[in-house]
Structure 1
Amino acid sequence: MSTSTSSKAIPTHDSPPIPPASTSTYIIPQLSGELVSIPGSKSVFRILASEKQTGDDSIGVFSSGGALADAPGFHHHERAHDIFMVTKGELKLWVGDSCRILQAGDFASIPPKIIHNPHLLGPITETYGLIHPSSWIDFFRYVSEPTDIPSIIYPEQDSRSLPALLVPKVIAAAKAGKDYDVHFHREHVGCEVAPWSDADTVLPDGEAPYYLRANRGPRWILGGVVSRPFITGTQSSGKFAITSLEGSSHLDAGLNPLAAPLRYAVHHVLVVMEGKATINVEGYAPATLTEGETVFVQAGVAWGVVFESRFVRIWSFSSGDGVERVIERAGRQYTEGYVVPDKAESWDAQKFEEVCKELQVKAA
């Protein structure tokens, strides 16, 4: 199914500079992006979108992969809001006075001023992250080595000490008057790991640090699309939102509310986590994406998605209330199941139009 008549393909960037330094739609292949590696981390950051692409300071989105290595150390950010999402392996994460072991699908939100420390437990750990403001990603660029990373996946054999290399560089930057908003607490002692609890299955009513256990959080449904928000504007003070969009090619295509492109007032970074989906972006020919591929769509450009396999999971990162809020307000809470239902349901078209109007979302 396609709603675009243009023959112009969305640019795919798989060689430097990626992503491009312009506010336009693009696709990034699996395990690609602007690659930076912090010495001694045995890991790589793959920047998928930053202020260079959004044209503002709203969101920076990246993935990372690494092996068991030293933790960077306890630190906080005065202004930056940090997010951790695990897709493979294990991550030991201290957040304030709590600590959890995060595995695939687990999530953590760390607002400004909260002391935290991530420790990859490996041997293979993959994560996604979002940070606001997006210019904070310049810290990665400052402390990293050149972007021509020789490793195919990440520098697993880098045996240097991460803290020994990282902390002096941050101190030197501060002395030179460069504020990267990283404040170390070298004497801080982390607490013991605690088990997951029922508190880790709900979203807080405001901006606060929290963990969210995989697939245990709130769920919303509209038509045949399930949305599992990790964080909304309520928890980020309106700065950004992240959700998992899930659907199926086996459901009635006419009951897919995302098929017809909609023009949102915020940026969206869409990452296909499972399955295959066709993305229809205004002004471009339809593009079919599979696992690990990313598309960036800037604010004001309409986009829609068609699910092309039995199960599709797409993670949506937006610079404010986006697709997740449309599904929440126009749909209903999905409490009777955890997976995509066997049958899509109809929805109130008038309510859908009213919600879109409230959120400044327009049909293409």
Structure 2
Amino acid sequence: MGKLLCDSTTVAESFQPSSPIVPWRDPKSAPLEAIKAVDLVNQTAIAAGGGGWEDVVGLEEQQRRHLQRLQSKGVLWKPPEDGHSSTLRSVVFRLSHGGEVSADGNCLFTASQKAMGGEIDARELRKRTVSRFSEDLGSAILQEREGINDAIRHMYSPDLRNGWGIHVVQEVKLLANKADRLALDSAIEELVQLGMQREKAAESIYKERCIPVNDGTSWAKYMLISGSPDDEYDIITLQYTEEGLLSVDENRDGRAAAFGDDIAIECLATEFKREIYVVQAHGSDAMVDEENCVFFLPHRPRSQIMELPIFLFMKGTGWCGAGADHYEPLIAHPSSLVSQEKVAVVL
């Protein structure tokens, strides 16, 4: 599973100004210069490495139609005009669905693995993402570091006095050292024996003894968790409504993994010096019209862009929470372009 925020600018602004959302549009008014810049690559078989959209489950017809146009017409990607990407040329990509990946909390990294060609496994991608974050955080100035900490706190240790106009349920993430689980259970049981309700006792002990995910250091510990027995920590999730505690997910089997968030995507982009576009397809329950049901969320690296972009897919269901929590790979096929009308989107 993955995670994008209702207000994704909170995270993006902590690292760098974010590129704007690229809405769906046919670039009929695009300048001819953009088309002339296309790097004509030999057409590959679209079916190789990616499938069509007709068999992808969970899509409404308006979403399916637009995604099929992405595959048939393609999207035009142009390298940034910053003087550092002169070796890259504009390319048209036809985007096809790269298949389902397991919804085990690791989907950002398993989807990225497929989108990148599978040369690096998902677990290594997670480790390199966290390593890049920690290195960049260590060199950040105080103001940048404070902004990053604020963004993390907003996501994983929210102020439960606010935000109820946006969220019905808010979550607090805590880290329990696997070696401490027996001691934690014992402390919870002591409170239960004193007459405290089990969930309230668990909430009290976990908040007192576990690590809150509220800054860069704790985020790095959290994002390393893949749901493996080798993880140092287990994720504890406290869910709240405006009325108070709703539930405690104690994750006793230790299988919960840290969902990839906007910070992780930007760090992944920085590590590999390439843009990552999250293609979101929102349905009718998101109250968007057909022409705007598909849009691109760009994540630019904090370094020079040296490689072509990769694309990830997210099926949306509603607007709040950015609509979904699961990433799937998109396979980007370089394509020769015949005319301007064949481009569905200019990035």
TM band (smaller chain) = under 0.3
Q: Which has the higher strand share?
A: 1
The structure with higher relative contact order (CA 8 Å, sep 6+) is 2
Query: Which protein is bigger by CA-based radius of gyration?
Result: 2
Q: TM-score, normalised by structure 1?
A: 0.24
Q: Which has the higher helix share?
A: 2
Q: TM-score, normalised by structure 2?
A: 0.25
